[in-house]
Amino acid sequence: MNENPERILKRALDHAGAGRLEEALALLAPLAARYPKVPAAVINHGEILRRLGRFDEAVAVLENAVARLPDLPVARFNLALALRGAGRPEDALAVYREALRRQPDHGDGWYNQGNALLDTGREEEAVASYRRALKHLPPPRQPRTLNNLASALILLRRPAESEAPLRDALALSPDYPDAHLNLGVALERQGHLGAAAGAYRRVGELRPEHWWHALHADLLCPDVFDDNAAIDTWRDDYAATLARWRDRPGHLDPALLHLSGAEPPPTLMYQGRADRALKTAHANLLAPRLPAIEPPAPRSGGDRRRIGLVVNHGHEGIFIRSVQGVLPRLDRQRFEIVVAVTRPALNRARAALGDDGLTWLALSPRVDQAAEQLRAARLDLLYHWEVGSDSFNYFLPWFRPAPLQYTSWAWPLTTGIPGMDFFLSSDLAEPEGAQDLYRETLLTMPGNMFTWAEPPTPPERPMTRADFGLADGEHLYLCAQNPRKIHPDFDPLAAGILERDPRARVLLIGSREGAETEPLRQRLQRRLGALAERVTLLPRQSRERYLGLLDVVDVALDPPHYSGANTSFDALGMALPLITLPSPLLRGAFTGGLYRRMGLTGLIARDPEHYVELAVSVATDPALRQHWRDALRRGNGAIFHDDRAIGELQNAWDIMLGDR
């Protein structure tokens, strides 16, 4: 190497600036080897390796650079970037902490630390890191930090707060597509659907190849409908929109599916209708726009069947609660369990479920990359915890990451996806002919309600009505479901209760983000008139306060079409009488299934009139209420510590796998 080293370096950087990374690396690797103490040579060598995706090599190079040049902050910052790329976010955060201690005014360092914090699900800390970055970055370089700050706030379910940084980003960079996209999300989460549609369409204008944002804009769906006629009108429009889009050109980019919003509207499931036709039509629209992927060949050899369970960030809380009693009781001689969790949810899930006998897999938040990771795990069967509550979990099954895959009650309606093999349900909750409701093969377990559950633990300090601002002289009827589940058919039930019981007060609980609460309040005021004065919308409660609330009300109410699930375990475990209506839909039949498991069906109403009669009778008659409380205390042991949930689940796996 006789050429001047500075010229070699300049040529390498010119190659890198033009995107010719391999040519840059061919010059930098020997240059860095020859001059290991020259920062520009060594650090750029590591950076080019990182940009090529050769993260482990980049880490090795940059670790050496930090060792040789400990007082050079850029070496640490680049090392942290490489560690994050290598899937080692905790190690990256340790390096960021030291680098920022040495150079606290490094705006890009605070920004990149915020990104690493998001990788680990630490959104509050990410918010603080992005805010520090903004103090040290000049305005022209702030938009991406403002956008990511907004992303963290959206993940924290604070969409209203995310609007200000997004509008600041767009003031600095009016044509910034990612900020328009996040603004659409923030507005949609607040229920401002018209403004959200405008933001999504603006993304489509700026990036015409990303046509799916315009589709999402066309399919925006209210969280709360005024009445059944509005629901039917929206569904007719949905079908017409799918037909209108069917022949338009365009493919979906696998690398962007997790941000696409091209899945069926999740709020479809709250409308109280059978959804197979619409979900299938939506899937048929998407199928030719996605890569056609065959499932991997079945695994041969091995003494145990390898079962995967997959959940993505934002949904791990209920997943943990629902599987933590199941996992330790599975037959580990027959089944190896792989728990696959997107990286931001990994620490929380692993801390709750432990490592005993489990194999953990940290998934990329990108659908296509996560699918490749799951394929590499060589699973026999994959259980998708939810399919359709967001873009990631809707599109993952399309990539056929296992020879066989199924879903079940956590998102309790058909996926409509042609590659989903099974839907696992329960005979206790499915009507005759239920297969017609599912595109998947329906498989039902005979005698359990899906999970090995622990009974709720009452709060240490018994609560009183005064703790919730409620009067002692009223009869309290609690519907603990989120406002999306309060179907318009609930309104006449509430009106009937309030008319028949002049001392009745109906209690509802608002949503976490609040977007659904005000439309529900307005609908009840319009439809119930003066009776709405005796409807109280409480704020969301902590777990302890929520259980305390169950202890002070007189009766619990299931809304029509979407009953409680975990909330039903809670109410029945606290021996609180819970009134429910039968439903042909799994999501409306969960409470009835629990009652059938206990052998107690007297609180399953025959029809709406009987529902009102049961609710008022239990709330106003102390002796009858005590009768049902005693019956629930005697019978609710059947729904807790239920070993049938283990045996029947394992039998279902055998059937899916063809082992039985």
Residue 436 is part of a domain; what is its CATH number? 3.40.50.11380
238 within some domain: no
Judgement on whether residues 471 and 447 belong to the same structural domain of the protein: no
Q: What secondary structure does DSSP assign to 80-132, as a single string?
A: HHHHHHTT-HHHHHHHHHHHHHH-TT-HHHHHHHHHHHHHTT-HHHHHHHHHH
Length of the chain: 660
Where among 173, 193, 222 does a domain terminate?
A: 173
pLDDT digits (tens, 9 = 90+) for 152-201: 999 999 999 999 999 999 999 999 999 999 999 999 999 999 999 999 99
pLDDT at 301: 77
Where among 173, 203, 224 does a domain terminate?
A: 173
Write the CATH number for 129. 1.25.40.10
Judgement on whether residues 67 and 123 belong to the same structural domain of the protein: yes
Write the CATH number for 515. 3.40.50.2000
Judgement on whether residues 426 and 549 belong to the same structural domain of the protein: no
214 within some domain: no
Distance CA 203, CA 200 (A): 5
Q: What are phi and psi of 103, to 5 degrees?
A: -140, 80
pLDDT at 1: 47
Q: Which of 98, 92, 68, 65 is nearest to 80 (CA)?
A: 92
Number of domains present in the structure of the chain: 3
270 within some domain: no
Q: Fill in the amino acid letter for 372.
A: E
321 within some domain: yes
Ranges of residues in the chain with a pLDDT under 70 are 1-3, 513-514
Judgement on whether residues 25 and 160 belong to the same structural domain of the protein: yes
pLDDT at 2: 60
pLDDT at 250: 92
166 within some domain: yes
Judgement on whether residues 572 and 652 belong to the same structural domain of the protein: no
Judgement on whether residues 502 and 438 belong to the same structural domain of the protein: no
Q: Contact at 8 Å (CB) between 482 and 516?
A: yes
215 within some domain: no
607 within some domain: yes
Judgement on whether residues 492 and 539 belong to the same structural domain of the protein: yes
pLDDT at 3: 67
369 within some domain: yes
Which residue, chain included where needed, has tokens 């709405």?
A: 532
Judgement on whether residues 515 and 573 belong to the same structural domain of the protein: yes
Judgement on whether residues 550 and 444 belong to the same structural domain of the protein: no
Per-residue tokens: 450: 């899906």
Judgement on whether residues 393 and 374 belong to the same structural domain of the protein: yes
Where among 125, 155, 173 does a domain terminate?
A: 173
Q: Which of 585, 610, 283 is nearest to 419 (CA)?
A: 283
Q: Contact at 8 Å (CB) between 632 and 600?
A: yes
Judgement on whether residues 443 and 486 belong to the same structural domain of the protein: no
pTM for the model: 0.94
Q: Within 10 A of 35 (CB to CB), how many other CB atoms are there?
A: 15
Provide the residue range defining the domain that includes 31: 5-173
**Sheet of 405-407, strand order:** 358-363, 335-342, 305-311, 381-384, 405-407, 422-426, 441-445
Judgement on whether residues 391 and 471 belong to the same structural domain of the protein: no
